[in-house]
Chain A
Amino acid sequence: MGAAALRALPWALLLLGPLLPGQVLQANPMLTSEGQPAPLPGGDVPGFTAAPPAAPEVIHPLKEQPANGSGEGHAKPRKAFPVIGIDYTHVRIPFEISLWILLACLMKLGFHVIPSVSSIVPESCLLIVVGLLVGGLIKGVGEKPPILKSDIFFLFLLPPIILDAGYFLPLRPFTENLGTILIFAVVGTLWNAFFLGGLMYAVCQLGGPGLNHIGLLANLLFGSIISAVDPVAVLAVFEEIHINELLHILVFGESLLNDAVTVVLYHLFEEFASFEQVTILDIILGFLSFFVVSLGGVLVGVIYGVIAAFTSRFTSHIRVIEPLFVFLYSYMAYLSAELFHLSGIMALIAAGVVMRPYVEANISHKSHTTIKYFLKMWSSVSETLIFIFLGVSTVAGHHYWNWTFVISTLFFCLIARVLGVLVLTWFINKFRIVKLTPKDQFIIAYGGLRGAIAFSLGYLLDYHHFGMRDMFLTAIITVIFFTVFVQGMTIRPLVDLLAVKKKQETKRSINEEIHTQFLDHLLTGIEDICGHYGHHHWKDKLNRFNKKYVKKCLIAGERSKEPQLIAFYHKMEMKQAIELVESGGIGKIPSAVSTVSIQNINPQTLPLERVLPALSKDKEEEIRKILRNNLQKTRQRLRSYNRHTLVADPYEEAWNQMLLRRQKARQLEQKVLGELQTPPALADPSVPPDPLAYEPKEDSENLPIITIDPASPQSPESVDLMSEEPKGCGGLPPSPEEDEEGLVMRVKEPSSPGTDDVFTPGNSDSPSNQRMLRCLSDPGPRPEPEEGEPFIPKGQ
Chain B
Amino acid sequence: MGVAQLCPGVPRALPHCWGVGQAQMGVPRVPAPVTSFLSLAVTSEQIEHLHRRFKQLSQDQLTIRKENFDSIPDLEFNPIRGKIVHAFFDKRNLRQESDGLADEINFEDFLTIMSYFRPIEMNMDEEQLDRFRKEKLKFLFHMYDSDHDGKITLQEYRNVVEELLSGNPHLEKESARSIADGAMMEAASICGPDQVYEGITFEDFLKMWQGIDIETKMHVRFLNVDTIAHCY
Determine if B226 is an interface residue (Cβ-Cβ < 8 Å).
yes
> What separation, in Å, do the CA atoms of A309 and B190 have in the docked complex?
38
Which candidate, B6-14, B15-23, B24-32, B159-167, is the interface stretch facing chain A? B159-167
B182 and A713 contact, CB distance less than 8 A = no
A521 and B220 contact, CB distance less than 8 A = no
| Per-residue interface assignment for chain A, residues 502 to 538, with 1 indicating a CB less than 8 Å from any chain B CB and 0 otherwise | 0010100111101111110111111111111111110
B78 and A521 contact, CB distance less than 8 A = yes
Determine if B154 is an interface residue (Cβ-Cβ < 8 Å).
yes
Residues 131-171 of B contacting A (Cβ, < 8 Å): 140, 143, 146, 154-155, 158-171
Determine if A638 is an interface residue (Cβ-Cβ < 8 Å).
yes
Contact of A641 among B166, B174, B185 (CB under 8 A): B185
A716 and B78 contact, CB distance less than 8 A = no
Which candidate, A397-405, A484-492, A559-567, is the interface stretch facing chain B? A559-567
| Closest partner residue, chain B, to A510 (CB atom) | B183
Determine if A112 is an interface residue (Cβ-Cβ < 8 Å).
no
B164 and A643 contact, CB distance less than 8 A = no
Contact of A511 with B208 at beta-carbon distance under 8 Å, contacts A612-B177, A641-B185 already known: yes
| Closest partner residue, chain B, to A436 (CB atom) | B122
| Closest partner residue, chain A, to B208 (CB atom) | A511
- Which A residues touch B117, using CB under 8 A? 523, 526
Determine if B100 is an interface residue (Cβ-Cβ < 8 Å).
no
B221 and A525 contact, CB distance less than 8 A = no
B122 and A565 contact, CB distance less than 8 A = no
B178 and A522 contact, CB distance less than 8 A = no
| Per-residue interface assignment for chain A, residues 613 to 624, with 1 indicating a CB less than 8 Å from any chain B CB and 0 otherwise | 010000000001
- Which B residues touch A544, using CB under 8 A? 77
Min CB–CB distance A754 → chain B (angstroms): 12
Tell me what chain B mostly uses at the interface: helix, strand, loop, or mixed. Answer: helix
Determine if A569 is an interface residue (Cβ-Cβ < 8 Å).
yes
Determine if A202 is an interface residue (Cβ-Cβ < 8 Å).
no
Contact of A534 with B186 at beta-carbon distance under 8 Å, contacts A435-B122, A524-B78 already known: no
Min CB–CB distance A279 → chain B (angstroms): 38
> What separation, in Å, do the CA atoms of A533 and B172 have in the docked complex?
33
Determine if A424 is an interface residue (Cβ-Cβ < 8 Å).
no
A516 and B212 contact, CB distance less than 8 A = yes
Which candidate, A205-213, A331-339, A625-633, is the interface stretch facing chain B? A625-633
Residues 681-727 of A contacting B (Cβ, < 8 Å): 706, 708, 713-714, 716, 718-720, 722
Chain A residues bordering chain B, tally (CB within 8 A): 79
- Which B residues touch A610, using CB under 8 A? 172, 174-175, 178
B179 and A632 contact, CB distance less than 8 A = no
Contact of B185 among A512, A612, A644 (CB under 8 A): A644
B174 and A528 contact, CB distance less than 8 A = no
> What separation, in Å, do the CA atoms of A514 and B185 have in the docked complex?
14
A646 and B72 contact, CB distance less than 8 A = no
- Which B residues touch A528, using CB under 8 A? 72, 74-75, 78
A612 and B183 contact, CB distance less than 8 A = no
Residues 575-624 of A contacting B (Cβ, < 8 Å): 609-612, 614, 624
Determine if B84 is an interface residue (Cβ-Cβ < 8 Å).
yes
- Which A residues touch B175, using CB under 8 A? 566, 569, 610, 774
A563 and B114 contact, CB distance less than 8 A = no
- Which B residues touch A533, using CB under 8 A? 231
A537 and B186 contact, CB distance less than 8 A = no
- Which A residues touch B192, using CB under 8 A? 636
Min CB–CB distance B211 → chain A (angstroms): 4
Contact of A521 with B79 at beta-carbon distance under 8 Å, contacts A431-B226, A628-B197, A714-B162 already known: yes
- Which B residues touch A536, using CB under 8 A? 220
Contact of A518 with B178 at beta-carbon distance under 8 Å, contacts A506-B211, A529-B69 already known: no
Contact of B211 among A512, A522, A773 (CB under 8 A): A512
B53 and A566 contact, CB distance less than 8 A = no
- Which B residues touch A561, using CB under 8 A? 168, 170-171
Contact of A512 among B120, B171, B184, B212 (CB under 8 A): B212
Min CB–CB distance A568 → chain B (angstroms): 9
B72 and A529 contact, CB distance less than 8 A = yes
Min CB–CB distance B183 → chain A (angstroms): 5
Min CB–CB distance B168 → chain A (angstroms): 5
Contact of B172 among A614, A628, A770 (CB under 8 A): A770
Min CB–CB distance B19 → chain A (angstroms): 24
| Closest partner residue, chain A, to B172 (CB atom) | A770
Determine if A433 is an interface residue (Cβ-Cβ < 8 Å).
yes
Contact of A518 with B182 at beta-carbon distance under 8 Å, contacts A563-B171, A636-B193 already known: no
- Which B residues touch A510, using CB under 8 A? 179, 182-183, 186
Contact of A643 with B197 at beta-carbon distance under 8 Å, contacts A431-B226, A512-B212, A714-B166 already known: no
Contact of A509 with B186 at beta-carbon distance under 8 Å, contacts A430-B226, A716-B159 already known: yes
Min CB–CB distance A546 → chain B (angstroms): 13
Contact of A624 among B84, B197, B210, B221 (CB under 8 A): B197
B179 and A514 contact, CB distance less than 8 A = yes
Determine if A434 is an interface residue (Cβ-Cβ < 8 Å).
yes
A641 and B186 contact, CB distance less than 8 A = yes
Most buried by B among A431, A530, A644, A756: A530
Min CB–CB distance B101 → chain A (angstroms): 15
Determine if A639 is an interface residue (Cβ-Cβ < 8 Å).
yes
> What separation, in Å, do the CA atoms of A433 and B88 have in the docked complex?
24
> What separation, in Å, do the CA atoms of A114 and B72 have in the docked complex?
62
| Closest partner residue, chain A, to B120 (CB atom) | A434
> What separation, in Å, do the CA atoms of A756 and B177 have in the docked complex?
13
> What separation, in Å, do the CA atoms of A536 and B75 have in the docked complex?
12
Min CB–CB distance A697 → chain B (angstroms): 24
Determine if B218 is an interface residue (Cβ-Cβ < 8 Å).
yes
- Which B residues touch A638, using CB under 8 A? 185, 188-189
B155 and A523 contact, CB distance less than 8 A = no
> What separation, in Å, do the CA atoms of A430 and B225 have in the docked complex?
10
Contact of A532 with B172 at beta-carbon distance under 8 Å, contacts A537-B74, A565-B161, A719-B158 already known: no
Min CB–CB distance B227 → chain A (angstroms): 8
- Which B residues touch A647, using CB under 8 A? 154, 197
Min CB–CB distance A432 → chain B (angstroms): 9
Residues 42-81 of B contacting A (Cβ, < 8 Å): 49-50, 53, 56-57, 69, 72, 74-75, 77-81
Determine if A645 is an interface residue (Cβ-Cβ < 8 Å).
yes
> What separation, in Å, do the CA atoms of A639 and B220 have in the docked complex?
36
- Which B residues touch A370, using CB under 8 A? none
Most buried by A among B114, B119, B217: B217
> What separation, in Å, do the CA atoms of A722 and B181 have in the docked complex?
15
| Closest partner residue, chain A, to B81 (CB atom) | A525
- Which A residues touch B220, using CB under 8 A? 523, 526-527, 530, 532, 534, 536
Residues on A lying within 8 angstroms of B by beta carbon are 430-431, 433-435, 437, 504, 506, 509-512, 514-519, 521-537, 540, 544, 561-563, 565-566, 569, 572, 609-612, 614, 624, 627-628, 631-632, 635-636, 638-647, 706, 708, 713-714, 716, 718-720, 722, 756, 770, 773-774
Pick 27 A–B contacts, CB within 8 A, sort by A. A433-B119, A434-B216, A510-B183, A511-B183, A514-B161, A514-B164, A514-B179, A515-B208, A519-B212, A519-B214, A523-B220, A524-B74, A524-B78, A525-B80, A529-B57, A530-B114, A531-B56, A536-B220, A610-B174, A632-B193, A636-B193, A642-B181, A642-B182, A708-B173, A714-B162, A716-B162, A719-B173
| 4 closest Cβ pairs, A-B complex | A641-B186, A635-B193, A532-B222, A641-B185
- Interface contacts beyond A521-B79, A708-B172: sample of 8 additional A-B pairs, CB < 8 Å, sorted by A: A433-B216, A511-B208, A518-B140, A521-B80, A529-B75, A641-B184, A646-B188, A713-B173
Residues on B lying within 8 angstroms of A by beta carbon are 49-50, 53, 56-57, 69, 72, 74-75, 77-84, 88, 114, 117, 119-120, 122, 140, 143, 146, 154-155, 158-175, 177-179, 181-190, 192-194, 196-197, 208-212, 214, 216-222, 224, 226-227, 231
